[in-house]
Amino acid sequence: MAEFILQSKKLVKTYKIDSPSPVYAIRGVNVKLKKGEFVALMGRSGSGKSTFLHQLALLDVPTSGYIEINGVDVSKLTEKERSKFRLQVLGYVFQDYALIPELTLYENIALPMMALGLSRGEYDSDVREIIRRVGLTGREGNVPSELSGGEQQRVSIARAIVNKPEILFADEPTANLDSEAAKAVLEVMRELVDKYGQTIIMVTHEQDDRKYVDRVIWLKDGLITEDK
Ligand code: ADP
Ligand code: MG
């Protein structure tokens, strides 16, 4: 087994690389993450946090550099293998929840299981267990508009972890929430780490969020300036 669940080496992402004014969003980032770590990525707006997260979560392709996840050099994957890897090994939570409004809470969470071709009999107990972990038992039949922002974000976390991903990525998951709802979301994530050994990388600009995490990595102008 690899010593680190995730590693990046000299990771670079340059946007508009062929234009007269390229954007050097990340400029050579090295990071090593252990299983079961809860890491916050912090830094000012424009420092490259989302770009870095997108590269690590395989939502984008870096300009250069190396990413290894679970011992796999992800640059070696074909497009098809990459999609499968993303679906089976990684989970992603968006700031705006990105739930499907017509589907119930239960159906939203079951979606990744359906995408893997499983039948309800195969995923039902897993889906119910995950709903319990995020504290939403009893709300299975509600559609997103019947849930608060904090509840919707917990549905989005549940959907991201239902396939038991090795790593959960979250980009400013509490940015749209009031402080009470944000606290509930962060407590859910902390519990996933403590009880189930989930590895989480979360982008945030909230200073207060630091008390929930094990490690804070600061980015400035596309480079790590502090890691502790
Ligand atoms: P953060 O998440 O820390 O606010 P981003 O990673 O979103 O920072 O952005 C880093 C830099 O890259 C910024 O200068 C931003 O304008 C630029 N950028 C981000 N995405 C794109 C894109 N798709 N095309 C061009 N420039 C981008
Ligand atoms: Mg961002």
Percent of the chain with pLDDT over 70: 99
> Do 123 and 200 contact (CB within 8 A), yes or no?
no
pLDDT of residue 87: 87
Model pLDDT for residues 131-158, shown as the tens digit of each residue: 999 999 999 999 999 999 999 999 999 9
What CA–CA distances, in Å, run from 19 to 13, 14, 24, 28, 122?
14, 11, 12, 20, 50
Could you tell me if the CB of 19 is within 6 A of ligand 1? no
| Residue among 225, 201, 210, 226 nearest 50 (CA) | 201
pLDDT band at 110 (very low <50, low <70, confident <90, very high): very high
User: What mean pLDDT do residues 114-118 have?
Assistant: 89
Ligand 2 centre distance from Cα of residue 204 (Å): 8
Give nearest CA residue, ligand 1 atom 5. 48
Least confident among 33-37, 113-117, 194-198:
113-117
Ligand 2 centre distance from Cα of residue 219 (Å): 11
pLDDT of residue 116: 84
Give CA–CA dist 175/170, Å, rounded: 11
Give CA–CA dist 171/207, Å, rounded: 15
Regarding beta strands 23-33 and 38-42, do their DSSP bridges make them parallel or antiparallel, or are they unpaired?
unpaired
Give nearest CA residue, ligand 1 atom 23. 15
> Quick one: which ligand is closest to 25's CA?
1
Helix (H) or strand (E) holding 81: helix 79-89
Q: What is the mean pLDDT of the chain?
A: 94
Helix (H) or strand (E) holding 149: helix 149-161
Give CA–CA dist 153/173, Å, rounded: 7
pLDDT of residue 1: 59
| Residue among 143, 132, 136 nearest 108 (CA) | 143
User: What mean pLDDT do residues 163-173 have?
Assistant: 95
- Residue 219 CA, closest ligand 1 atom number: 3
pTM: 0.94
pLDDT of residue 115: 86
Regarding beta strands 167-171 and 90-93, do their DSSP bridges make them parallel or antiparallel, or are they unpaired?
parallel
pLDDT band at 3 (very low <50, low <70, confident <90, very high): confident
> Do 8 and 66 contact (CB within 8 A), yes or no?
yes
Model pLDDT for residues 182-224, shown as the tens digit of each residue: 999 999 999 999 999 999 999 998 999 999 999 999 999 999 9
Q: Which domains are assigned to the chain?
A: 6-227 (3.40.50.300)
State which residues have CB under 5 angstroms from ligand 2, the bound ion: 49-50
Give nearest CA residue, ligand 1 atom 18. 25
